[in-house]
A and B are shown apart, each in its own frame.
Chain A
């Protein structure tokens, strides 16, 4: 019985593989876009302009304070009402990148604030412009502090991308959902799906931990 169903589930390997590809593509694309915006967010949040920083803080809180599922629905249903038609994939990328940007923004801001104040003062005293201070002194040090969290953030993105299946995007979770309609073996189907996620996320979690330990050694 087990082998009968296992064979049927494995017969769906093209769907599973396609779903896995979608999960990876969606998370990677959102990580890249989210990191680009997130770094800008972080610099503003840690920067001198208090009002700008506060306004951005409210924006970030709006997305940190609501479920990702609701955000996906908002992008998918509200933007069309404002005249912007998005495919499910585009909606997924927009929602996931935005979430990534909000979380990465806070991580980068914390990293920048963790760089000792004397570093900025020394850079200022050597006559660097604010852009040079950021590029040559502050950001390289902040980057070392935030790298483990960024890897951890990627794991969260991969897991959050499963929620996008709710608007019908064929990712790994949706693939499982489709297969379970014709092979009624929930444990085996979603065990397989879970294994797919595990094989990607588990090494990344370890990498994040290793980077964290190495970072602590470097700081001592």
Chain B
């Protein structure tokens, strides 16, 4: 069935697909930055001792993880204007992506920090290191190392999730592929071009994760 693929039309729409690809790229990059900022913040709040600061961070992570991104996206898209907050669709999309992935990033960073054996912290205490020194010299170097691979994994999810922004009419890769479907009644060509674009990003991120963990694996710990 792919034998009848009209490559001429696909080439004709290459500029649109390329623009969509770039949009997906920078939407994902913006979403990633937002997600990391939110993730670090939520994780920092979740592991500190004050309960009233911990509760909102934990609630945020739980609510996001137990509901679909599409419902979160529609919540903001249909909800914010009623509060008098009128934002461009693209910004709403970036906010939704950041909020969504931020919760997963928080969990990833938290489990990275908790994976450091307690004995190491105690060893640091008994050598007379201060809290900040223990964090800087013992906990964070190992925790961040353990975090890189899952963070890249979540970034792959984020890139794929950004396709949902097409449903609130943000023009990105998925939407660009639909142009071919709508203009030329050729859904197959549009979807194949779209899928190829995402696969490029997927394999790039996947091999980055592989290369990183091959070079930086800690002995005895994945």
Contact = CB atoms under 8 A, between A and B. Distances in A.
**Is the A/B pair a real complex?**
yes
Interface of A: 61-62, 64-70, 73-74, 77-78, 81-82, 155, 158-163, 165-166, 172-173, 176-177, 180, 184-187, 189-191, 193-194, 197-198, 201-202, 205
Interface of B: 1, 62-63, 65-72, 74-83, 156, 160-164, 166-167, 174, 177, 181, 187-188, 191, 194-195, 198-199, 202-203, 206
B1 A65 contact: no
25 contacts: A61-B206, A62-B195, A66-B199, A67-B161, A69-B166, A69-B167, A69-B174, A70-B163, A73-B187, A77-B187, A82-B1, A158-B68, A162-B70, A173-B70, A176-B71, A180-B74, A184-B82, A185-B79, A186-B74, A190-B74, A190-B75, A194-B71, A198-B63, A198-B66, A201-B66
A177 to B, nearest CB: 6
B163 A187 contact: no
Overall SS of chain B's interface: helix
A69 B82 contact: no
B163 A159 contact: no
B191 A65 contact: no
Nearest to A160: B68
B188 to A, nearest CB: 5
Contacts of B156: 65
B202 A66 contact: yes
B198 A70 contact: yes
Given A64-B202, A186-B78, A187-B75, A74 B191 contact: yes
**Which of the listed residues A70, A177, A201 has the most CB atoms from chain B within 10 Å of its own CB?**
A70
Report, nearest first, the 9 A-B pairs whose CB atoms are least far apart: A186-B78, A65-B202, A186-B79, A67-B163, A187-B79, A190-B75, A162-B68, A77-B187, A201-B66
Contacts of A62: 195, 199
A216 to B, nearest CB: 13
Given A67-B162, A191-B75, A198-B66, 11 more contacts: A70-B191, A78-B187, A81-B1, A82-B1, A173-B70, A185-B82, A187-B79, A187-B83, A190-B72, A194-B71, A197-B71
A59 B203 CA distance: 13
